């Protein structure tokens, strides 16, 4: 796929911090509507790369393209950081409405949309509650809704389930699979979990240790709709083996 045909792309992106190279000539193209997962060793630069895609960090060399044109500022794509950053003095509905309010939607209209989204995604009873009333998994769902509600057609998710326990994480993965078609967007997910990447993504991109380069792009040709039962199949095991090999993990 050419960068011009992609929804979001990087061409020859290099970035250093304190004289140490972090990204080393990264080329990447994400198709419209694609769910792409980025994996790599700890400290490889995955979150930095997502920040570049979000327009939050300017590369030292290369370019970032959105719809074939240079990405010139942040805010053109939706971005969810690792921490949920829910504001304790705002209700859950008011937190979910925050992105809409920031984009200029009047407060009451934004909160009406937020309450409707909470109902659609199973959080209606917590609309007027403070964030502290939510479990970890519910907080992640609320943060994901806040990211999705402004309607950006690109969503960047930085390990959104990384701080959760294994059972809650599994529940959230199943939830995201269930609502995937309602989130009409191109999605780039950073994760350190190989199983999560294969379960959720259409394609998985593996980065080398820092300075990061793309070492493998793997199409995930598992049938949809997917469930956690896919993980018990031979094809899932084969794909997982390729990813682990690319990561340098002995089989």
The string of pLDDT tens digits covering residues 97-136 is 998 888 888 999 999 999 988 887 788 899 999 999 988 8
Segment 171-179 mean pLDDT = 74
User: Pairing between strand 8-17 and 61-66?
Assistant: antiparallel
Q: Indicate if the pLDDT at residue 250 is higher than 50.
A: no
Q: Indicate if the pLDDT at residue 249 is higher than 90.
A: no
Beta carbons of 108 and 158 less than 8 angstroms apart: no
Q: What percent of the chain has pLDDT over 90?
A: 45
- Measured in degrees and rounded to the nearest 5, phi and psi for residue 101 equal -60, -40
Rounded Cα gap, residues 110 and 94, in angstroms? 8
> Closest Cα to residue 38, out of 162, 140, 167, 174?
162
What residues pair up with 14 in beta bridges, in sequence order?
24, 61
> Closest Cα to residue 186, out of 88, 77, 81, 95?
77
Rounded Cα gap, residues 82 and 162, in angstroms? 7
pLDDT at 251: 45
Query: Over the stretch 65-105, which tens digit does the pLDDT of each residue have?
Result: 999 899 888 778 888 888 888 899 999 999 999 988 888 88
Segment 152-180 mean pLDDT = 78
CA 84 to chain CA centroid, Å, is 13
User: Pairing between strand 20-30 and 61-66?
Assistant: unpaired
DSSP H helical segments within 98-211, as ranges? Answer: 98-102, 107-120, 136-148, 166-179, 194-200
> Closest Cα to residue 23, out of 56, 42, 49?
49
Q: Indicate if the pLDDT at residue 228 is higher than 70.
A: yes
Higher pLDDT, 200 or 180: 200
C-alpha triplet 193, 25, 154: angle, nearest 5° = 55
pLDDT at 176: 76
Q: How confident is the model at residue 26 (pLDDT cuts 50, 70, 90)?
A: very high
Q: Indicate if the pLDDT at residue 174 is higher than 50.
A: yes
Q: State the pTM of this model.
A: 0.87
Residue-averaged pLDDT of the chain: 87
Q: Indicate if the pLDDT at residue 180 is higher than 80.
A: no
Q: What is the token pair recorded at 109? A: 């209209």
Query: Over the stretch 186-204, which tens digit does the pLDDT of each residue have?
Result: 889 999 889 989 988 999 9
Query: Residue 36, SS3?
Result: strand
Residues 6+ apart with CB under 8 A from 239: 198, 218, 220, 222
Q: In order of start, what are the domains of the chain with their CATH numbers?
A: 8-84+152-246 (3.40.50.300), 87-133 (no CATH)
Residue showing tokens 């960090």 = 57
pLDDT at 4: 62
> Closest Cα to residue 145, out of 136, 159, 155?
155
Rounded Cα gap, residues 59 and 24, in angstroms? 10
What residues pair up with 189 in beta bridges, in sequence order?
37, 157
């Amino acid at each position: 796929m050419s960068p011009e045909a992609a929804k979001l792309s990087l061409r020859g992106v290099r970035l250093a911090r304190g004289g140490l190279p972090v990204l080393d000539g990264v080329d990447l193209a994400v198709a419209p509507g694609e769910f792409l997962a980025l994996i790599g060793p700890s400290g490889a630069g995955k979150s930095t790369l997502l920040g570049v895609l979000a327009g939050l960090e300017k590369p030292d060399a290369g370019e970032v393209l959105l719809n074939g044109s240079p990405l010139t500022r942040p805010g053109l794509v939706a971005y969810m950081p690792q921490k949920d950053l829910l504001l304790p003095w705002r209700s859950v509905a008011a937190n979910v409405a925050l992105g809409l309010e920031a984009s200029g939607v009047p407060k009451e209209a934004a909160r009406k949309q937020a309450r409707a989204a909470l109902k659609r995604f199973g959080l209606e009873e917590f609309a007027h509650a403070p964030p502290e009333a939510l479990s970890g998994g519910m907080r992640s769902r609320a943060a994901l809704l806040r990211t999705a509600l402004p309607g950006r057609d690109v969503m960047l998710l930085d390990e959104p389930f990384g701080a959760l326990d294994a059972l809650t994480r599994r529940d959230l993965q199943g939830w995201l699979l269930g609502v995937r078609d309602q989130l009409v967007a191109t999605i780039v997910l950073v994760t350190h979990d190989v199983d999560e990447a294969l379960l959720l993504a259409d394609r998985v991109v593996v980065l080398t240790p820092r300075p990061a380069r793309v070492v493998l792009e793997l199409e995930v040709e598992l049938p949809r709709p997917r469930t956690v039962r896919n993980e018990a199949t031979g094809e899932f095991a084969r794909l997982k083996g390729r990813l682990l090999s690319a990561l340098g993990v002995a089989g």
